[in-house]
Chain A
Amino acid sequence: MPIPYREASDLDALGAAGYFKVDPAPLVPGYLGALFLINARGEPIEFTYNRIETPHPFLWRRDDVEQYAARQLAISLLSLCPKLPRLILCLAGEVGDSLFSRDVRLSVPVCRVVRAGDPAPTSGAAPVGAGPEGRSGDMAADLSWIPAIPAEDSLEAQLLRELRAHELLLEPFERASAGLREVYGARAQAAP
């Protein structure tokens, strides 16, 4: 019987991209967070998840609790994730620009993806256009980098180009949400 094999491709050298996703928790006040690592082909590598409860929401200003939840989730997920991504992507509509520029400093670049309708990036972020290589599914996305745009020939930039070529700038966030629903939705349903 043949032994299956696959030759490692150059894409493997680009490493993984981490998608940081924050969703409202079902059933109880709180938030779910995921750090979803995929390779340049879109294949899942690592899924790190956690949740944070925000009881007594009347005690909090909405913006404050969201910001706090995102920060705590980011800290816990980054601590938990056993693999180091080449870069981290997050949605500008979910993560304020202060999180990774002031509250949490990372050794890898962070790319905030701005979807149509999301708040535009503000100070501290370096905006980057979608670029000519963007595909239709991602043309609506704009990017801003923290702390700065990676060099054109850097592995980070190459990885992002691959992700864009495979229309993987936004789609993995949906998978991350699906993963969170799988973890917490199922548990919530199973709970007595």
Chain B
Amino acid sequence: MTDPPTPRSLDVAAPLAIAINLSAGGAPRSGVDGGSVALGGLRPHPHAATSRPPRQPPHQRHAADSASDTRPPAAGEAGLARRLARVLQPPAALLRAALEPLAWPAPLFDYQVTGINALLSRDALLLADDMGLGKTIQAIAALRILVREHRAESALLVVPASLVSQWRRELRHWAPELTVSTVRGPATDRSWQWNTPAHVHLTSYETLRSDYTENPRSPPRRRVWDVLILDEAQKLKNRDTEVSRKCKQLRRRRAWVLTGTPLENGLDDLASLLEAVVPLADGETPPRLGAGPALLERHRSLQLRRRKADVLPQLPPKTVTRIVLPLEGPQRESYERAERDGVVHLRETGAAVRIENVLELIIRLKQICNFCPMTGRSVKLDDLRERLSTLEAEGHRALVFSQFTDGKYGARAIETELRASRPLLYTGDLTPAERDARIRVFKEQPEHKVLVLSLRAGGQGLNLQDASYVFHFDRWWNPAVERQAEDRTHRLGQTVPVHVYAYTVEGTIEERIDALLREKQMLFDDLVDDVSIVLKERLSADELFGLFGLTPPASARSS
């Protein structure tokens, strides 16, 4: 019997086969192909086949760098190494645990682990948790595990433009080893950003709309994404919009759709949303869903929704208070004059009057409810200033939302008038970099007591637990949108009770519309102030004209 010769050391860069033949006969002989594989450096990269070398985190790269042999691996051994790296990973249950090895930067709640498991176990899921429960974290964690288990190599993450930077931060925080290519900016930049090898391509709905073209080689459509994640997916509720159509046409093996408000207006919205919650193979066309029992059944089967009160009983309570203020002095006079003149104008227009004329008047009156056009005074601002002085003395900070952004009736005017509180302004006309800077400054510099936000720009996705008071300077007529804005602060990480104050001026259009909507329990489209045609579908011509005691002409009824 002969002892086997000592095998040579083998790493990925060395030849795979090592011959250790012993003498034939009855003696055992060691195998012909023993080897050793350094696994730390062998995480297969999704774009290993490209000419660009894959990037790896330092802790992974170190193991590969430490190999003594620097020759490139042969194709066969690299393939074996990849397969080994896959089968030798820790079991999924261990990866999902709050302990190591993935070293989550913060403990995952049980309900979040449940959500992660749901995302991992299904090809398509509508994750519709209440706002603030960490849908972002769950999606990132699930994606991280999928990549770790080598079940996914490429993900497309589409989010509102205002949230791109926040998603980048969250990805860096919760999945530091994932490479991210953020696609935004000029077309020349986007071209290489799409082509950059990465685990995640992160872009906005607007950019996707631009870059998904009829050309089948256009970057977003030339590949089948392992995971498609659509954040704040209520943007897809209108199936006729270009971005909605394009998102649904993206080929994907998994579709994760995130929204806290899957049902804003009606079943058509829901149907449109669910059309995106399905894998789409090459050559397939997106489904077209109609209202009916089948839709509701599909909804039940695809949706995972948890409410804060159920899963986070420890979250501090949120108290909503309606503040009804009287309109006085010049502001009252300005309001009454505008309404009187507006009604006269509507009457004078006669049969040619259109619903849009009524909507324009509503907006005009709402603006005057904010600030007097003659004096710049504001009953709301007086009240707000007084409350803020008390809150600031107690060390609290506040968010103030307005649907208007301008310097006469909206967010800019509020910011100017509250300068004693060193307010910061966050509106949609800021560049993404400016928006990030404002949020960062607000979080890091507590001397800024107030953040004034336009509802449309600041109402989604931001994490602003640093403030515990929210003021709605004017009313947005969609409660779901208002709740979204409030939940910027009433979310995970909030440690003190959240107080929400909503201003309404009595005896004005604000109060009348509020009463009308309460009575009918209807939801306005969130584009009400764009005089969206949807508004006409929400309120009848009789109801809209009735706000001013008018009877609509036949032409308005039919329009």
A175 contacts B28, CB within 8 Å?
A: no
B9 contacts A50, CB within 8 Å?
A: no
A11 contacts B178, CB within 8 Å?
A: no
B10 contacts A80, CB within 8 Å?
A: yes
Give the chain A neighbours of B30 by CB distance below 8 A.
50-53, 72-73, 76
Q: A187–B97 Cα gap in the complex (Å)?
A: 34
Give the chain A neighbours of B63 by CB distance below 8 A.
45
Give the chain B neighbours of A49 by CB distance below 8 A.
34-37
Interface residues of B in 141-197 (CB under 8 A from A): 168, 172, 176-182, 196
Give the chain A neighbours of B88 by CB distance below 8 A.
36, 44, 47, 175-176, 178-179
> Closest residue to B168 on the A side, CB-wise?
A2
Give the chain A neighbours of B59 by CB distance below 8 A.
6, 8
Give the chain B neighbours of A55 by CB distance below 8 A.
24-26, 28-29
> Closest residue to B6 on the A side, CB-wise?
A79
Q: How large is the interface on B (under 10, 10 to 19, 20 to 34, 35 or more residues)?
A: 35 or more
Q: A72–B6 Cα gap in the complex (Å)?
A: 10
> Does A165 have its Cβ within 8 Å of any Cβ on chain B?
yes
> Does B382 have its Cβ within 8 Å of any Cβ on chain A?
no
Q: A170–B188 Cα gap in the complex (Å)?
A: 53
Q: A16–B3 Cα gap in the complex (Å)?
A: 29
Q: A53–B262 Cα gap in the complex (Å)?
A: 62
> Closest residue to A11 on the B side, CB-wise?
B100
Give the chain A neighbours of B20 by CB distance below 8 A.
50, 76
> Does B350 have its Cβ within 8 Å of any Cβ on chain A?
no
Give the chain A neighbours of B87 by CB distance below 8 A.
175, 178-179, 181-182
> Does A43 have its Cβ within 8 Å of any Cβ on chain B?
yes
Interface residues of A in 53-86 (CB under 8 A from B): 53-56, 59-60, 65, 68-69, 72-73, 75-77, 79-82
Q: A118–B68 Cα gap in the complex (Å)?
A: 40
Chain A nearest CB, measured from B74 CB (Å): 15
B84 contacts A47, CB within 8 Å?
A: yes
Give the chain B neighbours of A178 by CB distance below 8 A.
87-88
> Does B224 have its Cβ within 8 Å of any Cβ on chain A?
no
Interface residues of B in 1-45 (CB under 8 A from A): 3-4, 6-11, 20, 24-26, 28-31, 33-40
> Closest residue to B199 on the A side, CB-wise?
A4
B37-63 vs A: 1/0 string, CB under 8 Å?
A: 111100000000000000101110001
> Does B89 have its Cβ within 8 Å of any Cβ on chain A?
yes
- Using a CB–CB cutoff of 8 Å, the interface residues on chain B facing chain A are 3-4, 6-11, 20, 24-26, 28-31, 33-40, 55, 57-59, 63, 68, 80, 83-85, 87-91, 94, 97, 99-101, 103, 168, 172, 176-182, 196, 198
> Does A23 have its Cβ within 8 Å of any Cβ on chain B?
no
| Listed residue (B4, B34, B83, B85) with the most chain A CB atoms within 10 angstroms of its CB | B34
From A1, A40, A43, A181, give the contact of B181 (CB < 8 A). Answer: A1
From B34, B55, B182, give the contact of A51 (CB < 8 A). Answer: B34
A50 contacts B179, CB within 8 Å?
A: no
**Given A72-B30, A179-B84, A179-B88, A43 and B37 contact (CB-CB distance below 8 Å):** no
Give the chain B neighbours of A2 by CB distance below 8 A.
168, 172, 180
Give the chain B neighbours of A43 by CB distance below 8 A.
40, 89-90, 101
> Does A9 have its Cβ within 8 Å of any Cβ on chain B?
yes
Q: A59–B20 Cα gap in the complex (Å)?
A: 22
Give the chain A neighbours of B25 by CB distance below 8 A.
55-56
Q: A24–B33 Cα gap in the complex (Å)?
A: 16
Chain B nearest CB, measured from A41 CB (Å): 3
Chain A nearest CB, measured from B203 CB (Å): 13
| Listed residue (B84, B88, B101) with the most chain A CB atoms within 10 angstroms of its CB | B88
From B29, B35, B177, give the contact of A52 (CB < 8 A). Answer: B29
Give the chain A neighbours of B31 by CB distance below 8 A.
30, 32, 50-53
Q: A6–B173 Cα gap in the complex (Å)?
A: 10
> Does A42 have its Cβ within 8 Å of any Cβ on chain B?
yes
A42 contacts B94, CB within 8 Å?
A: yes
Q: A29–B325 Cα gap in the complex (Å)?
A: 90
Chain A nearest CB, measured from B251 CB (Å): 25
B10 contacts A46, CB within 8 Å?
A: no
Pick the 9 closest A-B CB pairs, nearest first.
Answer: A51-B31, A41-B101, A50-B34, A41-B100, A48-B36, A44-B39, A42-B90, A44-B88, A4-B57
A72 contacts B3, CB within 8 Å?
A: yes
> Closest residue to B24 on the A side, CB-wise?
A55
- Residue contacts A-B, CB under 8 angstroms, 17 given: A1-B180, A1-B198, A4-B176, A6-B59, A46-B37, A47-B37, A49-B35, A50-B35, A53-B28, A55-B24, A69-B28, A75-B3, A76-B20, A80-B35, A181-B87, A183-B35, A187-B33
> Does A115 have its Cβ within 8 Å of any Cβ on chain B?
no
Q: A39–B180 Cα gap in the complex (Å)?
A: 27
B28 contacts A72, CB within 8 Å?
A: yes
Give the chain A neighbours of B80 by CB distance below 8 A.
182-183, 186
Chain A nearest CB, measured from B40 CB (Å): 6
> Closest residue to A8 on the B side, CB-wise?
B59
B39 contacts A47, CB within 8 Å?
A: yes
| Listed residue (B6, B30, B85) with the most chain A CB atoms within 10 angstroms of its CB | B30
Q: A59–B28 Cα gap in the complex (Å)?
A: 11
From A4, A32, A53, A82, give the contact of B36 (CB < 8 A). Answer: A82
A50 contacts B101, CB within 8 Å?
A: no
A171 contacts B91, CB within 8 Å?
A: yes
Q: A99–B85 Cα gap in the complex (Å)?
A: 29
B26 contacts A59, CB within 8 Å?
A: yes
